[in-house]
Amino acid sequence: MTDRRQKQGKSVFIRTYGCQMNVYDSERMAGLLKPLGYGVVDAPDDADLVILNTCHIREKAAEKVYSELGRLKKIKTARVSAGDEMVIAVAGCVAQAEGPEIIARAPMVDLVVGPQAYHQLPELLARAARECGDVLATDFAVEEKFDRLAEREADGPAAYLTIQEGCDKFCTFCVVPYTRGAEVSRGVDAITAEARSLVAQGVKEITLLGQNVNAWRFAAPAGDAGAQGLAWGLGELCRHLAMIDGLERIRFMTSHPRDIDDGLIAALGEEEKLMPYLHLPVQAGSDKILKAMNRGHTAASYITQIAKIRAARPDIALSGDFIVGFPGETNEDFEATLALVEEVQYASAYSFKYSRRPGTPGAAMPGQVAEDEKNQRLARLQARLEAQRAEFNRAQIGKILPVLFEKSGRHPGQLIGRSPYLQSVHVDAPQSMLGSIAPVRIEDVTPNALAGVLVTKAEAAA
């Protein structure tokens, strides 16, 4: 074992669960810790600080945290008995939802910090050291959390950028409104500054993030005469960011059908930097279930929206989220979900068995569906979604697509990039092309990726 007293600097290991917003938060936490001398390491064993950035969305996700804490307990016990130290912090949505329970169930946890409080990490760590652990910070922020974060460092040519947080929709199955708080939009200037700084560091593609990203609104601050009367939505923000030289691609997720407006549809149709890919979860195809879920849309209104979006941007690839086995879902309701899937034709999708979450209205509803039934429905739905995905991928064969090369492949001389439709593309290309966008002729599909060859710009234009 290394002698800790001689070790230069400190190390942090961050394990991230859940959604892209957590990935973004983990990056920002690493950025906050860097000036304190923490370098990021890729295993917990020798780390001075371990952060679990957790997800509460389904029971399985939340349970993973406790099993991981069990493993960490062994490591920490061995370290402590060797006269060493290890600080364990739990962040993210489980921290927010079950803070006191974590401290009671897992006494070796020193610090519990919610998604709206992690900007205080430096002070909280100092407090945990002073008070020997048990620090709980799960207040919803009143100040602008983002203003307190360190300068953003880019890591590769594609980056996430959180522009909106929280949720006011209260779907009856979902914990997010309780773990992330009310909908809050970041200001245009802060978003633009972060985007510019990323682009200056070589970023070509930015994915704007929010639990309900298209609920983002710009309310001009009182006294800002120039901006008064401006009411921007996500479409206007995307057009604004598209003016940044060097930024080539803009994406956003996750959108809610209730917040799709004409401004966003028009931007999707007109702004070339906006990628033709839209993640628009529908959850179910039966109006009875959508109502019980408190989704605020019907199957027909969703399909009408998709038609409008496709009319504006004919090549758009659609993606969705589905829940099977919500309380009260009959076979007939489930068939309506399958029918909606046939009508829409998804390029990709995520589907889940309903998970009963404590404190949500759905958990107390009658008509909970048996596990067996959920399994069968999920298998049928996934078979259809998988077939649609495979078909969408196969349809790319022979096409020339611009690919942004993000990382090296497993084979020497190979790079892995992304198509406009968010597909992974494997290409033989020199390392020097990492971080650039080049035309690729798609020649093959594997279960999880496309494969293609570089073509010249002239061939691409022909």
Residues that bind ligand F3S (CB under 6 A): 18-19, 21-22, 55-57, 92-93, 175-176, 179-180, 211
170 makes contact, choosing from ligand F3S, ligand SAH, ligand SF4, none, with CB < 5 to 8 Å by partner type, with: ligand SF4
C-beta closer to ligand F3S: residue 56 or 273: 56
* Residue nearest ligand F3S, CB atom distance: 18
C-beta closer to ligand F3S: residue 93 or 141: 93
Please report whether residue 24 would count as binding ligand SF4 according to CB under 6 A.
no
Specify the pairing of strand 205-209 against strand 158-162. parallel
* Residue nearest ligand SAH, CB atom distance: 321
C-beta closer to ligand F3S: residue 91 or 324: 91
Nearest distance in Å: CB 229, ligand F3S? 33
Nearest distance in Å: CB 44, ligand SF4? 30
- Give Cα 426 distance to the centre of its chain: 23
Footprint on residues 256-295 left by ligand SF4 (CB under 6 A): 256
Nearest distance in Å: CB 143, ligand SAH? 24
Residues in the chain: 462
Footprint on residues 211-250 left by ligand SF4 (CB under 6 A): 211-212
* 414 phi, psi to nearest 5 deg: -110, 140
C-beta closer to ligand F3S: residue 56 or 426: 56
Nearest distance in Å: CB 367, ligand F3S? 25
C-beta closer to ligand F3S: residue 221 or 358: 358
C-beta closer to ligand SF4: residue 180 or 313: 180
Q: Which stretch binds ligand SF4 (CB under 6 A): 166-174, 303-311, 407-415, 447-455?
A: 166-174
C-beta closer to ligand SF4: residue 256 or 374: 256
Nearest distance in Å: CB 87, ligand SF4? 31
419 makes contact, choosing from ligand SF4, ligand SAH, ligand F3S, none, with CB < 5 to 8 Å by partner type, with: none
21 makes contact, choosing from ligand F3S, ligand SAH, ligand SF4, none, with CB < 5 to 8 Å by partner type, with: ligand F3S
Nearest distance in Å: CB 176, ligand SF4? 4
Please report whether residue 174 would count as binding ligand SF4 according to CB under 6 A.
yes
Q: Would you tell me which residues interact with ligand SAH (CB under 6 A)? A: 57-58, 173-174, 176, 211-212, 254, 256, 281, 283, 321, 323, 352, 354-355, 357
Closest CA to 45 of 70, 16, 79: 79
Please report whether residue 297 would count as binding ligand SF4 according to CB under 6 A.
no
Footprint on residues 187-216 left by ligand SF4 (CB under 6 A): 211-212
The 3-state secondary structure of the chain reads CCCHHHCCCEEEEEEECCCHHHHHHHHHHHHHHHHHCEEECCCCCCCCEEEEEECCCCHHHHHHHHHHHHHHHHHHHHHHHCCCCCEEEEEHHHHHHHHHHHHHHCCCCCEEECCCCHHHHHHHHHHHHHHCCCEEECCCCCCCHHHHCCCCCCCCCEEEEECEECCCCCCCCCCHHHHHCCCEECCHHHHHHHHHHHHHCCCCEEEEECCCHHHCCEECCCCCHHHCCCEECHHHHHHHHHCCCCCCEEEEECCCHHHCCHHHHHHHHHCCCECCEEECCCECCCHHHHHHCCCCCCHHHHHHHHHHHHHHCCCCEEEEEEEECCCCCCHHHHHHHHHHHHHHCCCEEEEEECCCCCCCHHHHCCCCCCHHHHHHHHHHHHHHHHHHHHHHHHCCCCCEEEEEEEEECCCCCEEEEECCCCCEEEEECCHHHCCCEEEEEEEEEECCEEEEEECCHHHHHC
Count of residues binding ligand SF4 (CB under 6 A)? 10
Please report whether residue 176 would count as binding ligand SF4 according to CB under 6 A.
yes
The contact set with ligand SF4 (CB under 6 A) reads 167, 169-171, 174, 176-177, 211-212, 256
